[in-house]
Every structure is written in structure tokens, then in C-alpha cells.
Structure 1
Amino acid sequence: MNTTWKAWALCAALALPLYAHAADDALVKRGEYLAKAGDCIACHTAPHGKPFAGGLPMTTPMGAIYSTNITPDAQTGIGEYSEDDFKRAMREGVAKDGHNLYPAMPYPSYAKVNDDDMHALYAYFMNGVTPVKQANRESDIKWPLNMRWPLKFWNMAFLDKGVYRDKPGKDVAWNRGAYLIQGLGHCGSCHTPRGVAFQEKALDESGSAFLTGGLLDNWFASNLTGEHNVGLGRWSEADVAQFLKTGANQHASAFGAMASVINNSTQAMTDADVAAMSRYLKSLPSAGGSGGAAYAYDAKATKVSLTRPANDAGARVYTAYCMHCHGVDGRGFAPMLAPLAGNPNVLEKDPSSLINVTLNGTEDLVIGGIPAAYPMPKYASVLSDQQVADVVSFIRSGWGNGAPAVGAGEVGKIRKVTVK
């Protein structure tokens, strides 16, 4: 028995380090998943840059700022951050040296992330990310607007430091979806309008402006409430889940920054988490929008397009450049080619996204490693400002869409700041 006990003790002693290592690996893996849920790589990786090394420019009304190096490099990254330093940066927007981060970093959302998830994220960034020695770039904001001490007062006014607490009366899936949407997903950072101090006008469903859509970097992030025309009112939970997993469904396709979210974040999330997010979003009441009548298809624009020659300038551009993908009837070939008839992004009062996507096309959606077959091409070098205005106006008025027309001046403004 003594020999047996010694053998067991030796095996146990040898197994303990292996078990501890396995537990650490599991924690790092969980942190990697959470980092994908937070889409950290999208903002902290510059085009053709190394992952998480920063340098991505972000446009603000005061000038461009550049994302920071969050690899565990000790000199230029966050390698010297303690876990408390990490949590403070994530939840309060304060770096290790005490300087305030600009609220382009969605720390008002990350403030809701619980301690267990913060611990896993810290484990991942310290142990699962390759260190990159790359100095951070100063912003293009000129003095005195580049001073950061006023951000302390911004935080006092707009930062809620409480982590997410489950709402009583709501089921597990709803609360999980709310936690992901409001916290790591930081959906409100783009999809909630901002006030004069660049603050989100609401941080959860208790505010009427929450997720009603917002203009950011010359794209209009769409309304995610139950609004019937420009929101998710006509979408089912399955439609929302399909969009988050693949970037397209029967109603719309992803473009702008949302394509990056699909590529780097939501497609990698579990079906259960995506279903929970869909459940939460579909629970939001109608808010925002124009308050007009519910969308109804109208075939008049199809007849105009089929007239030979078309007597509408926008219809002429549409038949030459758009009809083969989006259909003469505007209904497209979803989910591969987006419909324009009844598309919430077309019905939206703000035309920025339609102008931008016509000029600059879309980033390829890459689902499961396979690029989308028919990405939206760029037309900036092909169409004049007037032609873009004509075709966008035709689309926005056609097939019952009933959205306001667009002028060449609006196109010119977006062309000037987005076309390289």
C-alpha cells in the first residue's frame, strides 16, 4: 500500500502543473473569444499592420486620432500593465500613466463587462497576443483641443461605472444578449446618436435614443430598434442572427464598418450568443425613424427602368450600372445581392451610407474564409457627383421607398473626405 500511495502521490504531483497549464490555456482561449466579441482587432489593427499594434486612423470633428498598441510589448504596448491597470483602461478610459483616453475607445460600454470576463481578456492579451514593438502615434488634433485633462470632466458627466446587472423579469437569453450588445459588443458606439460632447445619448434600452442610428465617419449606422421601416421591425430573430453570422439576409447586406464587425467578430461567436443578441435586439420597441407609413412595394420604378430610352437620369444610371445585380425590380437576389426595395438603409432619411457605398464600394465579406462572390464595386472614378446623386435619388424614391432626394453637393462633400 505504501508503494501504491507513493506512486499515486507522484502522479498527482506531476499532474498538477499539467492541470494548471490546461486551465491557463482555457482562460486564454476564453479571453480570445471575448476579444472577438468585442471586435478589438478591428480598431487596433491598421491596414496591412500587425494584429493589435494600433495605428488605425479614426476621424473626429477635431481631427484624426490613432488607435493604440495593445500588444504585450513592454515598451510600446501594454506589457507593463497590471490587471488593475488593464481594467481601469477598459472601464474608465485611463491609461497606466494616468492620461485619459478619447471616448472613441468605447470604455463607457466596456465599463459593463464583469470581472470574470475582464480577467480572461487580460490573460489573453498578456499571453495569447504576439508582442509588437511599434510606438503609438500622436493625434492630429491641434492644441489646445488635444489637451486631455477635460476628459476627466467628461467622465464625471457621462461615464457610468457599474457593471451590467441582470434585469429582473427577463430570461437568461435576454440578459445575455443585453450584456453582449451593451458591453463587449459596444453596439451603441456606432448605432446610437451622439450629443454635442460626443457622448452617446443613451447607453441602454432605458433611453429613447438607444440604437436609433448614428452618423459616424461618413457612414450612417442603422437603426436597430423595432422601427418598421428603417429599423428591425420587419426582421425576425432568425433574420438578425443570419445577418450577424453572414453579413446578409433577405433585407440587407453589411457595408462600411459593419463588414469588419461581421468578418472579425460576430461570425466567430457561438450560435447561443448570436441568438441571445438577436433576442435582445428584437425586444427593443420602435424608436427613431421618420414616422411615415409602413413600407409597401410599388412597381412604378421598374416600369421607368424598362422604358427605352429611360426618361429619368437616375434610371439611366441604374440600368447601366446597378440593375444587373440589384434587379430591374429592385428586389435583388438576397442574400447574395442586396435588395434595394424596402431596404432599411435606403429608407433612412440620412443618405450618407448610400452615397459612400456607391463611391467607395464595400469591404469584402469573408465568411468561413470564403470571400463574398459579389462585393459592391467602387464607382467614384466612373460616376460624377451628379450621376451618383441621380441614381441614389432614383433608388430612394423608387419601389415605394419614398426617401428624400440627394443633391450633387452632398455627394461632393463625402467624395472629398472619403475618396483617396
Structure 2
Amino acid sequence: MTTLKTFVLAAPLAFAALAPVTASAQEFSKDLIEKGRYLATASDCVACHTNHDGGKPMAGGLPMTSPVGIIMSTNITPSKEFGIGNYTEAQFADAVRKGVRGDGANLYPAMPYVSYSNMTDEDIHALYAYFMQGVAPVDEKAPETDLPFPMNIRASMMGWNMLFRPNETHKDDPSQSAEWNRGKYLAEGAAHCSTCHTPRGMLMQEQKDRDLTGAQIGPWFAPNITNDKLNGIGSWTQQDLVTYLKTGRLDHRAQAAGSMAEAISYSFQHLTDPDLNAIATYIRSVPTASASSTSGQSRFDQGQPGNALTGFRGKDYVQGIKGDHAGAALYTANCASCHGYDGQGTTDGYYPSLFHNAATAGDNANNVIAAILYGVDRHTEDGHVFMPPFGGQPNSVNPLTDVEVASLSNYLLKDYGNAKLTVTPADVQVIRNGGPGSRLVLFARIGMGVGAALAMVALGAAVWIVRRRRVQTQTAA
């Protein structure tokens, strides 16, 4: 099961449903279709709209975990029966930028139309050309999303959109360079960086006053990427960030996993160097906000090589690996063959060191837990980077219990990363279940119940007033 990139969760969700109108039959030029393909790649459409366990491109069917339930991605191929083949360009534009699908129903903001709302008419036109004539139609119905009440009432999104959806397309800032403006357009629009990296409020809206300061996305934590040198990536050079977006790896600092690995694999690595540099230019200009480090050190500078097993080799080994040293034993059995006996990784960086590593030295341990449970799967021109999952999935090599994952995580944090953090089995269970849930469903139900109760009270009061006036009228007569 894949997590949301944009409710968190992470990437386009659903244009979906068939509309009883006829799409334009015009023929689009190859250049326009190619431009649309590039924009769709920049928008990472295929990551969410393809079931990567044997599904067809853009045909949907990918289950994504959100804080309010499982959302199924939809078929956005030009199938006239099951996809968007009957969409007019105006309907397509409304789906992408306003979150309103062809039949008039509202999309959930798991589809990052809040970001895509900044896209220009010209780019929407190119995207439409690509999806109508550059994508193979797939005549298969994608599974329906079935969220718990009252989140299954799509009409509620009308109010959400009135509060939180932008209504303006991108406009260049004349005080900034052309490269910066291009980077802002891509980072805030197609690449939808804030969808994952910006914290969300109680109603799942992005908290723009904390832009790009880090947020939980399903089981993974998307870290602070502002220009702060302690909490963000202010210590990175322009080339560092471009290298990371191309490869998903920056030696002795960071490796992409989870939703970011998908973004690298399906989107960023395929962008042009000028666009990657533009994105880097803009991202590196974003100032920090309220985020703070609990460790006093950058997450890229913490930890050191070490091996807790060194002191108890020999006849007392069996006793030594129990209790506090259980994590070290698990590391030896499951991790040391790749990451090294003292966590130093390999010289080529394919297996990263576990010290001076953003995953082990962040302000929370969620990415350590998630990496153990879900592994790493990233495809780039440099090759396929793969770490097997240990969370009990069908392809897990050695499923670990919550207690074992907690022990291993604590060993990694203590010996190689942020030793101030502690992981409990309950913490592991939360990440195993897809990440922290939201109280939004509960609050919505309580709100509806209170609203209904108030409505009944108001109705009762109105009936009482009417009857009282009738009695008074009869008495006066």
C-alpha cells in the first residue's frame, strides 16, 4: 500500500469520472503533446495514477493511505467509458486547477489541485493535449474511494475550497530573476513541493506561515527544506540540491525514500538541467519559519561510526545481545552486511553510512522506523537502489515485530544518530499502520451531531413560539 503524497500525501489523485459531454476532436501537434508529457512528468502524475503492482500507466487503482482513510487513485487515461476521454478542455482545467471533476463532483485535496491552481492556461492546454492524444486509453474501471462518514460526502469540499483553494494563476515577480520565477512556478505548481513539506492544520490545509518546514506524510516525514542551515538545507550548495533531485542521494547527508523516492524516480530526474537549477534556486531562497532543532546540530552532521557488539564478543555473546543490546544483535543479523559493521556504508555510497545521515539524525525517528518497515526502492539513471522491507510485506526478507523494530531503531539512533530520541513499540505500530491518523473525521461527526442538535433545539423553539402566539391570540379574542 502506498501513502499519499499530498493529503499529504504526495501527487495527483483523481480527475476521474465520466462526463456526459463530448471532448474536442481536434488534432494536437506533436510538439504540444510533448510539452504536455513533460508537464505531466513534472507533475508526477504517473506515481499516483498507476498501480505499480502490475497496473497500466495512468489507469489508477493505487490505494493510498491518508489520515482520514484509504483513497484510490482513478483512471485518467482517455478511455471514454472509464477515464477522462469525454472531458472538454474546460472540464479538464477545472479538475486540475479547481478540484471539480467532469460530472460536477468535488475531488478530495489528495489531488494537489491547490498547487496546480497556479498553472497557466497554456500549460493546461498542453496537458490536455497529452492526456487526450499522448496517453493510451485503458478501458478498466478503477476502484472507488470509500471514506468513512462524513468524509464520503464530497459536497463538503465546496466549503473547504472556499477557504483554502487559491484562485489565481502564477504571476512573475519582477524583482526576481527569470530563473527564480521559473523555479517558483514549478516548485509551487507542478512539482507541488509544499504538498508534502508544509505542515497542515486541523482541516488538512497547508499552513503557509510554516512553508516547507517539514510535515508527516503517511509513514514518512518530509523534512524541513527551507534555507535554514541548522534545521533545513541551508548548508547545501546549488549543485548539492540539483544532484539530489537527479539521483535521490547526497553522500553522507541524505537519501530519498518513500514518496520522495517516487518523485525522484518518476519526475525530478527526467527534468531538464535548467528546470532543476531553477527549482533549486527558488527552494534555496525560502526562509525558515517556526521549525527548530531539538538536537542543536544539523541533521546532516550528527552521529559517528561505532559498534556496540565489540565489547562482548566471545563466550558471553549470547547473554550480551539480550536486553539493551538486542538492537545491536538485530543490526548485525539484518543490516551490517550492507551498511557495514560500524555503520560506515560502502565507499561508493550505494549503501549509505548511518551516521551523518538525515534519516537517523532528524528531530523525529519516523523515517528510521519507516525505512526498516518499508525499505527503499528508487530507480534512477545511476541504477536501482533497493533496501528490502522488514515490515512483513509479501517481499519482506525477515519480518520484524514492533518490539524488534523499536530495539533496532533505538540502537541506530543511539550509536549513529540523534541519541535524544527514543522509539517505543507503539510508535512502530503507528508507522506500520500508515502513519498518524487524523481527528478530522471525529471532529466532523461531532460537529454534525452538535449542528443537528442545535437545529432540533431551534425547531423546537420555533414551534413553541408559534404555539404560544396562537394561544395569546385566542386569549385576546
Corresponding residue SS for 2:306? helix
Is 1:389–2:406 an aligned residue pair?
A: yes
Mark the CA change 1:34 to 1:235 in structure 2 (over 3 Å): closer, same or farther: same
Which position in structure 1 is the counterpart of 2:227?
226
Shift of 1:298: 5.2
CA contact (8 A) 1:45 1:51 kept: yes
Q: 1:113 to 1:335 in 2, by over 3 A?
A: farther
Shift of 1:265: 0.6
1:115 aligns with 2:121: yes
1:360 match: 374
1:194 aligns with 2:205: no
Per the TM alignment, residue 384 of structure 1 is displaced from its structure 2 partner at its CA by: 2.7
Are 1:308 and 2:325 an aligned pair? no
Q: 1:382 to 1:113 in 2, by over 3 A?
A: same
Deviation at 1:249, TM superposition (A): 1.4
Q: Deviation of residue 400 (structure 1)?
A: 5.5
1:161 to 133, 157, 167: 167
The CA deviation at 1:70 is 0.9
Structure 2 residue aligned with 1:294: 297
> Residue 345 of structure 1 is aligned with which of 359, 362, 370?
359
1:55 CA displacement: 1.5
Select 2:34's aligned residue among 29, 32, 52.
29
Q: What is the identity, as a one-letter code, of the residue corresponding to 1:294? A: Q
Relative distance call for 1:306 and 1:238 in structure 2 (3 A) is: farther
1:35-74 equivalences in 2 (<5 Å): 35-47=40-52, 48-74=54-80
Displacement of 1:407 in angstroms is 0.8
Say if 1:213 and 1:220, in contact at 8 Å, map to a contact too.
yes
- Greater RCO, CA 8 A, separation 6+: 2
> 1:78 — aligned with what?
84
Shift in Å at residue 44 of structure 1? 0.8
Within the candidate set 364, 376, 385, 2:387 is matched to 376
What whole-Å deviation, never above 9, does each CA across 1:10-34 have from its counterpart, x for those lacking one? xxxxxxxxxx98x810010111011
Q: Is the 8 A contact 2:215 2:222 kept in 1?
A: yes
Cα distance change on mapping 1:27 and 1:417 into 2, 3 Å: closer
What is the CA–CA distance in structure 1 between the aligned matches of 2:187 and 2:196, rounded to whole Å? 12
SS of equivalent to 2:233: coil
Say what the alpha-carbon RMSD is for the aligned residues.
Answer: 2.3
Determine if the alignment matches structure 1 residue 320 to structure 2 residue 333. Answer: yes
Task: Report Cα offsets for 1:262-307 as digits up to 9, x if no partner.
Answer: 11111110011111111111222234242542245554x6153533
The residue that corresponds to 1:285 in the other structure is 287
2:269 aligns with one of 254, 267, 270? 267
Distance 1:279 1:127 in 2: 34
8 Å CA contact 2:47–2:262 kept in 1: the answer is yes
> Residues 163-199 of structure 1, C-alpha deviation per residue, up to 9 Å, x if partnerless?
1112232211111111111000011111111111111
Q: Which moved more, 1:405-414 or 1:313-322?
A: 313-322
For 1:232 and 1:335, how far apart are their aligned partners in 2?
Answer: 20
Give the C-alpha shift of residue 258 in structure 1: 1.4
Q: Is the 8 A contact 1:230 1:344 kept in 2?
A: no
Letter of the 2:121 partner, please give it. D
Give the corresponding residue for 1:238: 239
Match of 1:404 among 400, 409, 421: 421
What residue identity is the alignment partner of 2:268? Answer: T
Does structure 2 conserve the Cα–Cα contact (< 8 Å) formed by 1:252 and 1:339? Answer: no
Partner residue, 1:184? 190
- Alpha carbons of structure 1 residues 230 and 354: separation in structure 2 relative to 1, 3 Å: farther
Using a 3 Å threshold, how does the CA distance of structure 1 residues 181 and 244 change in structure 2: closer, same or farther?
Answer: same
Residue type matched to 2:239 in 1?
A
Residue 154 of structure 2, aligned match among 142, 148, 153: 148
Q: Once the 2 structures are TM-superposed, how far is the Cα of residue 415 of structure 1 from its aligned partner?
A: 2.9
% identity of equivalent residues: 41
Task: Name stretches of at least 5 consecutive residues in structure 1 with no aligned partner.
Answer: 1-19
Report the Cα distance in structure 2 between the residues aligned to 1:132 and 1:297, rounded to whole angstroms: 49
Q: Distance in 1 between matches of 2:432 and 2:104?
A: 39
- What TM-score do you get using the length of structure 2 for normalisation? 0.76
1:127 is aligned with what amino acid? Q
Tell me the alpha carbon deviations over residues 117-152 of structure 1, each in whole angstroms, 9 at most, x when there is no partner: 111111100110111112243212134331111111
Counterpart CA distance in 2 for 1:133 and 1:315 is 52
What SS does the corresponding residue of 1:383 show, helix, strand or coil?
Answer: coil
CA distance in 2, matches of 1:266, 1:93: 24
Between 1:173-182 and 1:331-340, the stretch displaced more is 331-340
The one-letter amino acid of 1:227's match is D
Q: CA deviation at 1:82?
A: 1.2
Matching residue of 1:252: 254
CA distance in 1, matches of 2:367, 2:417: 19
Long gaps (5+) in structure 2 = 1-25, 314-319, 392-397, 436-477
Q: Deviations over 1:317-344 (max 9, x none)?
A: 2233323333344343363122321322
Q: Which amino acid aligns with 1:257?
A: S
Amino acid aligned to 1:401: N
- Alpha carbons of 1:114 and 1:305: their partners in 2 closer, same or farther (altered >3 Å)? farther
CA distance in 2, matches of 1:400, 1:89: 44
TM-aligned CA distance change 1:324 to 1:289, over 3 Å: farther
The answer to whether the aligner puts 1:415 opposite 2:428 as a matched pair is no
Is the 2:100–2:106 contact (alpha carbons within 8 Å) kept by the matching residues of 1? yes
TM-score by length of 1: 0.86
Structure 1 residues 394 and 350: alpha-carbon distance in aligned structure 2, compared to 1, 3 A threshold: same
Residue from 96, 100, 105 that aligns with 1:99 = 105
Residues 238/215 of structure 1: CA separation in 2 closer, same or farther (3 Å cut): same
Change (3 A) 1:352 1:400: closer
Q: Which secondary structure state, in structure 1, belongs to the residue aligned with residue 29 of structure 2? A: helix
Question: Displacement of 1:45 after TM fit?
Answer: 0.8
Indicate if the aligned counterparts of 2:303 and 2:356 stay in contact, CA closer than 8 A.
no
3-state DSSP of counterpart to 2:280: helix
Contact 2:295 2:418 in 1 (8 A): no
